Amino acid sequence: MDRTLETKAAIVTGAGRGIGRTIAERLAADGAKVVVNHPPGFAGAGDVAAAIQSAGGTALAVEADIADSIQRETLFERTLAAFGRLDILVNNAAFDPGPMEFLEVDEALYDRVLDVNLKAAFFCSQLAARILIRQGDGGRIINLSSLHARLNFPNYAPYSLSKGGIDAMTRQLAMDLARHRITVNAVAPGFIEVARTRSYFERYDRDKLGRGIPVGRVGFPRDVAALVAFLATDEAEFITGEVIRCDGGSGIRLSFEE
């Protein structure tokens, strides 16, 4: 890696596994000091921070349910206490309950999906923006959207709504924060091979699924992390308000069956 983020400090929410873990590892490899956030009771983030440190990077694991306002504030307080500043926020944390028929969705489930996926990202962005404005030298907010925000799949109503909200929030915050030299963008992954997506198939076949995607393969967390890492750099300072698909062309054509 080229150390393009040296001197930067970043928070990656939901970074204990999957895409979030790979984003945290990539930002650290590029020189950033990284706070690896994870929900209470999840031990994976400690392993991620340890792996980053073993590779020569700087990382801190912070347990916090970002849907809770007090724990959310503690996450940012601990970041400043450890690293003295914040430059990059990656709103990666998400709750995906999997497919569920619309008529079976209850209010508690709906609230949990929207609280984690959209409300928490909004208020994490607000906390980050206050810090970045106070520091006075700009910054980056990068949201994780989804193919679900643009293409509709059966029985994903709350999750799709939450990711559509992320797209709208990205554009709005980009407008509101541009004068402070804070860019706000979103990355929208398509089919990315992680444990959660594999679990949706009784018989997961990487090659078969890949044939239904225009570039001929499924995505991997490294694909998403590479795009996030670029958007975090100074070279991306003229890009804001964008929702960039990282989907191998799935937004153009997607055709696979289990």
Tens digit of each residue's pLDDT (9 = 90 or more) over 54-93? 999 999 999 999 999 999 999 999 999 999 999 999 999 9
Q: Which of 84, 99, 67 is nearest to 9 (CA)?
A: 84
Distance between terminal CA atoms of the chain? 37
14, amino acid identity: G
Known catalytic residues? 159
Residue range 134-152: mean pLDDT, rounded: 92
pLDDT tens, residue by residue, 91-114:
999 999 888 999 999 999 999 999
Residue range 20-44: mean pLDDT, rounded: 94
- The three state secondary structure string of the chain is CCCCCCCCEEEECCCCCHHHHHHHHHHHHCCCEEEEEECCCCCHHHHHHHHHHHCCCEEEEEECCCCCHHHHHHHHHHHHHHHCCCCEEEECCCCCCCCCCHHHCCHHHHHHHHHHHHHHHHHHHHHHHHHHHHHCCCEEEEEECCHHHCCCCCCCHHHHHHHHHHHHHHHHHHHHHHHHCEEEEEEEECCECCHHHHCCCCCCCHHHHHHCCCCCCCECHHHHHHHHHHHCCHHHCCCCCCEEEECCCCCCCCCCCC
Q: Which of 175, 113, 124 is nearest to 146 (CA)?
A: 113
pLDDT tens, residue by residue, 188-239:
998 888 877 777 677 878 888 888 888 999 899 999 999 999 999 999 999 9
Q: What is the pLDDT of residue 1?
A: 56
Q: Is the pLDDT of residue 26 over 80?
A: yes
Q: What is the pLDDT of residue 95?
A: 93
* Euclidean distance between CA atoms 211 and 197, whole angstroms: 17
Fold of the CATH domain 9-246: Rossmann fold (3.40.50)
Q: What is the pLDDT of residue 85?
A: 98
Residues 128-151 as b or e (16 or more Cβ within 10 Å = b): bbebbbeeeeebbbbbbbbbbbbe
